[in-house]
Amino acid sequence: MDMPRPDPIVLSRKSELVARLLTVLPQDAVIEDEMETRAYECDALTAYKCPPLLAVLPRSTAEVSDVLRICYDMNVPVVPRGSGTSLAGGALPTADCVILGVARMNDVLETDYTNRVIRVQSGRTNLSVSGAVAEEDFFYAPDPSSQLACAIAGNIAMNSGGAHCLKYGVTTNNLLGVTMVMMDGEIVEIGGAHLDSGGLDLLGIICGSEGQLGVVTEATLRILHKPEGARPVLVGFDSNEVAGACVSDIIQAGVLPVAIEFMDRRVTEVVENYAHAGYPLCEAVLIIEVEGSEAEIDAQLALIREIAERHNPIEFREAKDADEASRIWLGRKSAFGAMGQINDYMCLDGTIPVSSLPMVLRRIGELSKESGLEVGNVFHAGDGNMHPLILFDANKDGDLELCEAMGAEILKLCVEAGGCLTGEHGVGIEKRDLMGYQYKPADLDAQMAVKDIFDPKWLLNPAKVFPLDVSDAKRSAQIAAE
């Protein structure tokens, strides 16, 4: 993966930068030691590593503003970082950048049950937002798999989803306002506890902009009362296509499960060996969860059973109690860890129209045979967000490149099927050079026009989202023009 050539001027001014940063931050908030900056050399896309020039850990919006003003003045690139759980390299440093970590900003600023909102600092972890309102039986709905670790800042940057977003939507549907610091240090308030603002939907463009438009330091989030109960069922099929058809029929019937998850035979086998969840060994396993009171759950599951039975499932297992429910989820929730136990893998994130599921799965199987690399499929079937896991050996020469080439083929396939490159992980560095498959130059120009306005010097989170040659040229040109 190519990254921009570090700016020699920035590198040469490191001690000046440190000195200036120490005028606005306490000593313990500026990390310059090479051993310590190494902790920030990568995110969860561990195939790529690059220690930053420095890392800073501010504690307030005002400190973030001071840091950005200095970096802006000295033309230093800034890579914002939540918890570093990005699977797309969204927080990968450049050698000449300052990592701006928001991990120390994790306070709850306000909980308001009357208006059903919570305001938090953006370094707070996703799960601990729900934790902060659990005493009143409320929760924050978006639930990425990394929710124990991932920060709201990263959720906003990537517009994160999760297993339950089929019903509750993704981050952008649950975000009401932000406090954001612009690259030049200006602090802006966008949105708030009210639902819609007049004027342009700036909040909508910030969510999912991968930390390239500003650094979000505080967020107002929608919270909801927990449902009375929830119950999963597991349905096994002897063909992917039939499982896909069953998903489509359930959605069309008007039942709205909170989650429909899919695992193929390869993943089921691995998971079973790892977690012993008692899954049937068959071509496709669906986990479907519904919510409500006992009676409502019974009624919805009866309908789902009726639809599933039209497709001759080899098994339909309804959780009888909490223990069975957790066993049904156990396998799905351990899928990524289990696959990691047997092999290195690359996790893709393309989304396709649900109707294309059988065709895309078949074609992925063919690509797997051609390349000789195994693929396991586990994904959010209700909304067509696939997560093919390509298995490779990181210690074998050329395997990573083979894996990346195959990943690119699968993502192109998703686009051809009417879908997109990434459903919830973001573009980062991982997919930036594939953007041309989904978007024409004019489409990308329109997106980059927004970047030009928010961050004219292209200093925020460089070398992500847009093809490297394009973004590199933008940055050089803007700084040269000064």
C-beta of 173: minimal distance to another protein in Å? Answer: 5
- The phi and psi torsions of 175 (rounded to 5 degrees) equal -105, 125
DSSP-assigned letter for residue 106: -
Q: What residue type is assigned to position 122 of the chain?
A: S
Select 16 or 445, whichever has its Cβ closest to another protein.
Answer: 445
Select 393 or 404, whichever has its Cβ closest to another protein.
Answer: 404
Select 52 or 384, whichever has its Cβ closest to another protein.
Answer: 384
C-beta of 22: minimal distance to another protein in Å? Answer: 28
Chain center to CA of 158: 5
Q: Which helix (H) or strand (E) holds 279?
A: none
- With a CB cutoff of 8 Å and minimum separation 6, the contacts of 83 are 103, 123, 125, 146, 149, 150, 151, 154
Select 309 or 443, whichever has its Cβ closest to another protein.
Answer: 443
Q: Which helix (H) or strand (E) holds 84?
A: none
C-beta of 275: minimal distance to another protein in Å? Answer: 26
Distance between CA atoms of residues 211 and 433, nearest Å: 18
C-beta of 424: minimal distance to another protein in Å? Answer: 6
Token pair of 350 as six digits: 């393309």
Distance between CA atoms of residues 391 and 399, nearest Å: 9
Residue in this structure with the two tokens 């939540």, named with its chain if needed: 82
Select 173 or 371, whichever has its Cβ closest to another protein.
Answer: 173
C-beta of 440: minimal distance to another protein in Å? Answer: 8
Select 268 or 471, whichever has its Cβ closest to another protein.
Answer: 471
C-beta of 255: minimal distance to another protein in Å? Answer: 8
Distance between CA atoms of residues 118 and 127, nearest Å: 13
Select 147 or 268, whichever has its Cβ closest to another protein.
Answer: 147
3-class state of residue 465 by DSSP: coil
C-beta of 193: minimal distance to another protein in Å? Answer: 4
Select 449 or 480, whichever has its Cβ closest to another protein.
Answer: 449
Q: How many other C-beta atoms are found inside a 10 Å radius of the C-beta of residue 388? A: 28
C-beta of 321: minimal distance to another protein in Å? Answer: 21
Q: CA geometry: angle at 422 spanning 49 and 128, to 5°?
A: 75
3-class state of residue 239 by DSSP: coil
Distance between CA atoms of residues 464 and 433, nearest Å: 9
